[in-house]
Amino acid sequence: MNGSEDGQSVVVVGGGIVGLACADELVRAGHRVTLCDPSPGAGATYAAAGMLAPGGEAWFGEESLLRLGRESLARWPSFAAGLSERSGVDVDLRADGTLLVAGDRSDLEEVRRTCRLLSLAGVRVDELDRRDLKVKEPRLSSRVLGGAFLPDDHQVNPRRVVAALLAVLGDCVVRQRAVPTEDGVLLEDGTRLRADVVVLATGATGLPRVRPVRGEIVRVRTPDAPTCVLRARLHGERVYVVPRHDGELVIGATEEEHPAEQTAPMPTVGGVARLLETARALVPGLETAHVLEVVARDRPGSPDNGPLIGPVPVHGPARRLLAGGHHRGGVLLAPITAAAICAHVAEREVPHAARAFLPNRFDLSERDEDQCT
């Protein structure tokens, strides 16, 4: 599709999974694309566990977000296959499903409410008692009470997705910060890039109505790893365990409202201790797992937990689109966001599920201090 005559010049600011996926889709649609980021893939995407979990993340009152997530999930197999083929990087998409696990009666009641919500929305879910759970995952503690299986909640390795997207984007990526201007962007070395459209995908900073929500994860390795994603609530404490290749596991994640800071997010003793304690109570065999990495990053949170995808009004000739605020679901939502941004650039009809997530559902006149507009 490269090189269509009506291709536009587009600058994407921000190279997390969202900006990179948008840039790739725009290149494939024939636009002339530059993506600016001093350290692509080093934001929230670096910490993400990679759960593709519209079911596990579903919450009451967030039915449009569930629809968006399910539509994006449906795009993941072809998105991953195409990307792996073009880049030569296996992005490790796994379709082993997800177990929801409850530790006590209150935790189990929440699992059951989630099951009812999902059944009403037409999402496949099987409630399991303690014995069924242990059959599905023998490594679980015998103290768990019950849970459910979500056969359609999957996972991917976000760092591999970033590597694949960077490989296919090649020279389109400029490793510099950028600020949008009336006719394009200004790079940190003083270069001005003119553009027909600027797409802002700057994660937890620089976008209107988006705030940082800090999360910590621990990566460990064990020879006896669970075989599918585990999402648990044990006596009110939440934890997930996401198995990758080679016995590697991602244990996550804390969630903490945080003021935007100039310094990089740092993991805390309290947060990491709680995660490890709860994970060990869920899977006792983790006692001897080796710790590989502890990471903290800021999720881009929005007022209603949904992303902001679409145009914002600006002065000047360059149109401006937002692709941000994906909060806990930026990995899941990358393919649908890329498709929607591509449709907005071409002023075509956007995918139906994405129409509920236009930025103009909020009052954007409220300026955040660090907004890069």
Ligand X SMILES: Cc1cc2nc3c(=O)[nH]c(=O)nc-3n(C[C@H](O)[C@H](O)[C@H](O)COP(=O)(O)OP(=O)(O)OC[C@H]3O[C@@H](n4cnc5c(N)ncnc54)[C@H](O)[C@@H]3O)c2cc1C
Applying CB under 6 A, the residues found at the interface with ligand X are 13-19, 36-40, 42-45, 47-51, 177-179, 201-206, 215, 217, 252-253, 297, 299-300, 324, 326-332, 372
State which residue, 108 or 345, has the beta carbon closest to ligand X: 345
Least spacing, CB of residue 74 vs ligand X, in Å:
15
State which residue, 51 or 102, has the beta carbon closest to ligand X: 51
Q: What is the DSSP string of 263-320?
A: SPP---HHHHHHHHHHHHHH-GGGGGPEEEEEEEEEEEE-TTS--EEEEE--SSSSEE
Least spacing, CB of residue 231 vs ligand X, in Å:
10
Least spacing, CB of residue 49 vs ligand X, in Å:
4
State which residue, 103 or 300, has the beta carbon closest to ligand X: 300
To the nearest 10 degrees (0 to 180), the angle between helices 17-28 and 158-169 is 40
Least spacing, CB of residue 176 vs ligand X, in Å:
7
Query: What residues contact residue 150 under an 8 Å CB cut-off, 6+ apart?
Result: 53, 55, 56, 97, 98, 99, 100, 118, 123, 124, 125
State which residue, 231 or 319, has the beta carbon closest to ligand X: 231
Query: What residues contact residue 89 under an 8 Å CB cut-off, 6+ apart?
Result: 83, 160, 163, 164, 167
CA distance 265 to 263: 6
Least spacing, CB of residue 130 vs ligand X, in Å:
26
State which residue, 52 or 128, has the beta carbon closest to ligand X: 52
State which residue, 29 or 201, has the beta carbon closest to ligand X: 201
Least spacing, CB of residue 363 vs ligand X, in Å:
21
Beta bridge partners of 146: 102, 129
Taking the CA atoms of 281, 270, 224 and 77 in sequence, report the sign of the dihedral they define.
positive
